[in-house]
């Protein structure tokens, strides 16, 4: 049977003050009345109902995750005691689902991304799952770049390897780390390079076989977990195993080493919603280039990005700012400093202002 594995352990420090330590990005309502997590479940639901979704998250936020995903069964909510990057997370999910259903085919999705072309997204996932059901391949979705981004890893596609329902797929020639500006431009111009979005499709058994080969310690540790245990027993096993695991991403730990890798190019209007600046691409601009979510008044204000889900922001004579209002905290940043937002957490700690973290 088909399953969706939703990775929902992120901390989303770049959306302070809307996001907090116990309220990461996947739990935010960024311009919709649903959380990014709920939107992720809705998006895949026509293909994979919530009963076959499995969420992996962290202890600090597990209760809020459960509340935001009430249709996901309790036994499908796994919680990590600490963060060990994506390889342990995905391999754990594969082990649990494989224990319950040895034929399980899974699609791995992030809980905090947005996708504008939802039907096309589902068509591609459907095609990829159809291929994965037939062949022991590890499939990654490659996002067609909209511009030469330097902040993502890239997947270099090789020869076209076939089609499923008119959806073409390719061998993967190579994975590439985040490029410099010139290299990113070359990648963009070539047409053969795709953003590594962290969405995957494979048989649980195929992923476990690759884990055994490339991350044998992780594979060994996972043998102490039984997906058919009670949720309480399962949690005990996870808590015992996790502290000893190596923190490593599925890309570096498995995908870049495996040989049976396939990429499905996907031009699906994908965004990882990486910072407040990203919101500019997701919402309409006014004539002065301002983007606003929530109540606002602009007076001689240009090209600002304003977020005020509770309350109002008034901007007079300012430009190129990010302004975020929450009841207990306001952020005002130059648009170019959107990436600096994550550093605020350290400052808050230094100043004994942990209550705002």
Which member of 299, 303, 342, 349 binds a copy of itself (CB under 8 A)? Answer: 299
User: How far is CA 94 from each of CA 128, 150, 222, 297, rounded to the nearest angstrom?
Assistant: 17, 31, 10, 49
The one-character DSSP state at 178 is: P
> What size, in residues, is the chain?
357
Residue closer to a copy of itself (CB basis): 140 or 290: 290
Which member of 92, 201, 206, 321 binds a copy of itself (CB under 8 A)? Answer: 321
Q: Are 92 and 215 in contact (CB under 8 A)?
A: no
Distance CA 263, CA 311 (A): 44
15 binds a copy of itself (CB under 8 A): no
Closest distance of CB 23 from a copy of itself, Å: 16
Q: Are 78 and 96 in contact (CB under 8 A)?
A: yes
Distance CA 243, CA 111 (A): 24
Contacts to a copy of itself from residues 239-298, by CB under 8 A: 295, 297
Q: Are 113 and 10 in contact (CB under 8 A)?
A: no
Distance separating the N- and C-terminal Cα atoms of the chain: 41
Stretch that binds a copy of itself, among 66-74, 120-128, 219-227, 329-337 (CB under 8 A): 329-337
Which member of 42, 310, 349, 354 binds a copy of itself (CB under 8 A)? Answer: 310
357 binds a copy of itself (CB under 8 A): no
Looking at the DSSP bridge assignments, the partners of residue 323 are 306, 332
102 binds a copy of itself (CB under 8 A): no
334 binds a copy of itself (CB under 8 A): yes
Residue closer to a copy of itself (CB basis): 208 or 333: 333
Residues that bind a copy of itself (CB under 8 A): 16-17, 295, 297, 299-300, 308, 310-318, 321, 323, 325, 327-334, 336-337, 340-341, 343-344, 347-348, 351, 353, 356
């Amino acid at each position: 049977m088909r399953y969706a594995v939703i990775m929902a352990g992120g901390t989303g420090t770049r959306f302070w003050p809307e996001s907090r330590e116990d309220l990461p990005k996947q739990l935010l309502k960024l311009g919709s009345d649903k959380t990014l997590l709920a939107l992720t479940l809705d998006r895949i639901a026509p293909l994979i109902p919530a009963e076959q979704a499995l969420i992996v998250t962290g202890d600090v936020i597990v209760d809020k995750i459960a509340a935001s995903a009430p249709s996901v069964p309790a036994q499908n909510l796994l919680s990590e005691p600490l963060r060990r990057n994506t390889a342990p997370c995905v391999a754990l999910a594969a082990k649990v689902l494989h224990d319950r259903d040895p034929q399980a085919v899974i699609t791995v999705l992030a809980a905090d991304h947005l996708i504008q072309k939802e039907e096309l997204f589902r068509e591609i996932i459907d095609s990829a799952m159809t291929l994965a059901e037939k062949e022991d391949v590890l499939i990654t979705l490659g996002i067609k770049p909209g511009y030469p981004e330097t902040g993502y890893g890239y997947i270099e596609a090789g020869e076209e390897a076939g089609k499923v329902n008119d959806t073409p797929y390719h061998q993967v020639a190579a994975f590439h780390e985040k490029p410099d500006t010139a290299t990113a431009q070359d990648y963009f111009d070539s047409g053969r390079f795709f953003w590594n979005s962290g969405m995957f499709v494979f048989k649980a058994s195929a992923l476990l076989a690759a884990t055994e080969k490339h991350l044998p310690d992780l594979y060994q540790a996972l043998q102490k977990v039984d997906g058919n245990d009670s949720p309480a027993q399962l949690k005990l096993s996870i808590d015992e195993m996790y502290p000893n695991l190596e923190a490593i991403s599925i890309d570096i730990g498995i995908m870049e080493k495996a040989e049976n890798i396939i990429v499905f190019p996907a031009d699906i209007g994908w965004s990882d919603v990486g910072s407040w600046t990203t919101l500019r691409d997701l919402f309409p601009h006014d004539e002065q280039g301002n983007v606003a979510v929530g109540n606002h008044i602009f007076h001689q204000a240009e090209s600002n990005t304003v977020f005020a889900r509770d309350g109002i922001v008034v901007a007079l004579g300012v430009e190129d700012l990010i302004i975020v209002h929450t009841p207990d905290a306001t952020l005002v940043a130059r648009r170019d400093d959107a990436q600096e937002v994550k550093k605020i957490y350290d400052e808050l700690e230094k100043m004994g202002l942990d209550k705002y973290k």
